[in-house]
Amino acid sequence: MNEEIENNLHREGIVLALNRKRAIAFFIDEILLSILLTVALWDSFADAQTVEELIDITNTFVLEYMLMKIVYQAFFVMQYGASLGKIAMKIRVIEIESMQTPNVLVALNRSIFRVVSEMIFYLGFLWGLLNPERQTWHDKTARTLVVDA
């Protein structure tokens, strides 16, 4: 682990969040956002007659869904230091430099690169599993860590 990060965490009495907690938080957030998308598009889904039509409707709104994910992640990380899934798992996001909740630009950077990482076969998330600081690509670009709350 990076010595500077390790010293800062030790000095503040902060522990990195387990990958298992992060994964569960990810799935909670994905389920919530999927439900929100389904509710928003319910009329369109109800009119669909085949599975292919459902897929076409979903594909039509993929950019809006990505934007919704970016806004959701950025807002909650900036406002509360954690998304709803992270709050449920009692973990939070902090900036490495200040050990505080990320500001709006850091939260936005993190949320954009989170979506990019998802689009590239979740490789950024895999990176986090292999990284000693448990930093995903979006954590690296935003200079953040996910820690126990």
Q: What is the pLDDT of residues 15-35, one digit of tens each?
A: 999 999 999 999 999 999 999
Q: What is the pLDDT of residues 89-116, one digit of tens each?
A: 999 999 999 999 999 999 999 999 999 9
| pTM, to two decimals | 0.93
* Other residues' Cβ atoms within 10 Å of the Cβ of residue 71: 12
- Choose among 59, 63, 69, 62: nearest CA to 26: 69
- Choose among 5, 12, 3: nearest CA to 139: 5
If residue 93 lies in a helix (H) or strand (E), which one and from where to where? strand 91-95
Q: What is the pLDDT of residues 43-88, one digit of tens each?
A: 999 999 999 999 999 999 999 999 999 999 999 999 999 999 999 9
- Residue 1 confidence (pLDDT): 79
Per-domain residue ranges of the chain: 3-148
Q: What is the separation of C-alpha 110 from the centre of its chain, rounded to a whole number of angstroms?
A: 8
